[in-house]
Structure 1
């Protein structure tokens, strides 16, 4: 894939009220929406093709499981539409969107994006860690990959995702994508909660992180 004309003016910012619903609804309906990052005077845009829902305090895979409330998870208890960025393995930042009602520690992990604008900058930013430019299919195909490419760090923790420098957007005239549900990735520690079909991905998308597992129950 090469840079193709993409007009960001046709996008409209999502209101925070979009996220003030069931975390499962938000996770599903974020498929086909956009992440827009303003970085050093340039817009970097990706279309969301994969998400996961985390519904604490009962969800054993959620950081807020059991009502856990720490400096890291505090934003999950705040208003919907805030940005929750956390780091794993000391190097990979993950972008999450707080969902539900205030006080409900729910969040949606953005797992993969389809690159739409600013691909040259995305490639350059990814190459710093990979030592070579990744293929376009691998450019944003994972939660750590997309944050590196778009310059999303823990400095954006608590940021409201309806404004610059990082916001969610939609293309009002677009058709609703077909969405698959499957078990979440990398949560085997969560027992029966690991089988919940709370991963959402655009059907047939070449940009997702891994192929969906067979449909789980729940």
Structure 2
């Protein structure tokens, strides 16, 4: 059964952040460019961040800086930041004032857009096109002026009607979270098992159907 946008909004507003992260696996993410053309694909890898208690979250301890202002906005707000000169996409998942969110780590690109996405990535192809958070931002050509806008209504938005159903969603520790006590090992990363675009996916673990139900 395909969710409606109303149901997705309610999910963000009413469910806890790990539940939202799991629901985002298989969700279609689309960017409408200024000329009206589109780029997009299916989310296959994402991570939940449970600030203010999460030591790995930018909003840990209710930290408030201009950088994290969007994290305190309403559910569905887009939080963007740079890391290692790459853009990273996050979606706020709880009500205004409770700074929790989901980072989108990897995307399976829709075939019809792969050529343009490859151009955006300087000719990169295959799984390297969008199997990392900075890679997918570049491939989708996401501008930072979308910071603070809504993932439901902005040029960068979810398309529930195109969601695909994973056969199995794995819960794993997040990547790149060292020395954060229990937060390093907690299974707050959710991936489509067997999909080649999952970050650091081993070739021997790739499924012939890429992890999707029919």
**Contact 1:16/1:161 (8 A) holds in 2:** no
Quote the residue 2:16 is aligned against: 22
Name the counterpart of 2:183. Answer: 193
Q: CA RMSD in A?
A: 2.0
Q: How many residues align?
A: 197
More helix by share: 2
Structure with more of its chain in strand, by fraction:
1
TM-score by length of 2: 0.86
Cα 1:86/1:74, change in 2 over 3 Å: same
Out of 152, 156, 169, which is 2:146 matched to?
Answer: 156
- Aligned residues of 1:99 and 1:107 also touching (Cα < 8 A): yes
Q: Is the 8 A contact 1:113 1:208 kept in 2?
A: yes
Residues 76, 12 of structure 1: alpha-carbon distance in 2 compared, 3 angstrom cutoff: same
* Dislocated runs of 4+, deviation >4 Å: 10-15
- Give the alignment's TM-score, normalised by structure 1: 0.84
Deviation larger for 137-146 or 166-175 = 166-175
Report how far residue 42 of structure 1 moved.
1.1
Alignment of 1:87-126 (within 5 A): 87-89=82-84, 91-116=85-110, 117-126=112-121
Task: Show structure 1 runs of 5+ residues with no match.
Answer: 1-9, 128-132, 213-218
Matched, 1:69 2:59: no
CA contact (8 A) 1:126 1:145 kept: yes
Asked if 2 retains the 8 angstrom alpha-carbon contact of 1:57 and 1:67, the reply is yes
How far did residue 177 of structure 1 move?
3.9
Does 2:158 correspond to 1:168?
A: yes
Say whether the 8 Å CA contact 1:17–1:80 is kept in structure 2.
no
